[in-house]
Amino acid sequence: MQHDENAFVLRADHNGITTLELNRPQQFNALSDELLAALQHHLDDIATDTSIRCVVLAAAGKAFCAGHDLKQMRSKPQLSYYQDLFKRCSQVMKSIQALPIPVIARVHGIATAAGCQLVASCDLAIASTDAKFAVSGINVGLFCSSPAVALSRNVSTKHAFDMLITGRFIDAQTAQNWGLINEAVAPEQLNEAIAQKIATIISKSPASIRYGKAMFYKQKQMDLDQAYDYAADVMAQNMMEEDAAEGVDAFIEKRPPVWKA
């Protein structure tokens, strides 16, 4: 990791894997203006770096992310500030999905409100069994409208609305059962579970992952006919890539494929 203890996000790059660690441990990694700006900066940088194959979004301290910084929000009681704040936060979430590579949330402790939104916005999420999730703005008179967008695209309508309207916490096993996370593992197994997922991802063709991630999210917004037309075109374009030719030839020749990059 970076050695700057004052950095709001710590970044480490190793063998094509980038780890971004939220670094406000004393504030449970609340998404202040400064942290959001730092996270957006790193996401923008990663988006143009073709050497990166996977991103892990982690957090320092006892919690993953407690949502927005409520003290900072109350210190700036202007509608224009709040509109800009939530717009900037939404852009961070959209930037995660716009990356051409998978982003894995490494979750421990609590992930609440916009912190839960952050988990839901990542492509994959693996959590410690001690993790807890909530969209708890309702408890302070604020319905978690922006988190609802990401949450409702991960879990069923009734499960999402239940969490949003009650503010209740769910444990990691429930989060897995409901589709918010992929796996819930013992705390001491969290790093190994992340490493195994990364190893599987980077064994695949980089080109096919780029095609696949972009297609996956775009087709979800289409009706069935549009989705199939779009998917068929993407698949045809993918077949023209060197990696696809190499992968098919390797399968026919019963040998491991050697990807282009």
pLDDT attached to residue 260 = 85
Indicate whether 129 pLDDT > 60.
yes
pLDDT attached to residue 6 = 77
The band of 186, judged by pLDDT with boundaries at 50, 70 and 90, is very high
Which runs of consecutive H residues, i.e. helices, occur in the chain? 33-47, 70-74, 79-98, 114-121, 145-151, 157-166, 172-178, 190-202, 206-219, 224-239, 242-252
pLDDT attached to residue 4 = 65
User: Please, what is the average pLDDT of the chain?
Assistant: 96
To the nearest 10 degrees (0 to 180), the angle between helices 224-239 and 206-219 is 170
pLDDT attached to residue 256 = 94
145-179 pLDDT, tens digit each = 999 999 999 999 999 999 999 999 999 999 999 99
Does the pTM surpass 0.75? The reply is yes
Mean pLDDT for the stretch of residues 69-78: 95
Count of C-beta atoms within a 10 Å radius of residue 215 = 18
The band of 3, judged by pLDDT with boundaries at 50, 70 and 90, is low
Task: Say how far residue 132 (Cα) sits from the centre of its chain.
Answer: 17
**DSSP bridge partners of 133:** 111, 170
Could you tell me if 170 and 133 are in contact, meaning their C-beta atoms sit under 8 angstroms apart?
A: yes
Q: Sort 199 into a burial class: Cβ within 10 Å, 0-12 / 13-18 / 19+.
A: exposed
Sequence-ordered list of residues with C-beta below 8 angstroms from that of 249, at least 6 positions apart, any chain: 257
Buried b (16+ CB within 10 A) or exposed e, 229-258: eeeeebeeebeebebbebbeeeeeeeeebe
For residues 38 and 212, what is the distance between their CA atoms, to the nearest angstrom? 28
Which residue ranges form the domains of the chain, and what is each CATH number?
Answer: 9-202 (3.90.226.10), 206-252 (1.10.12.10)
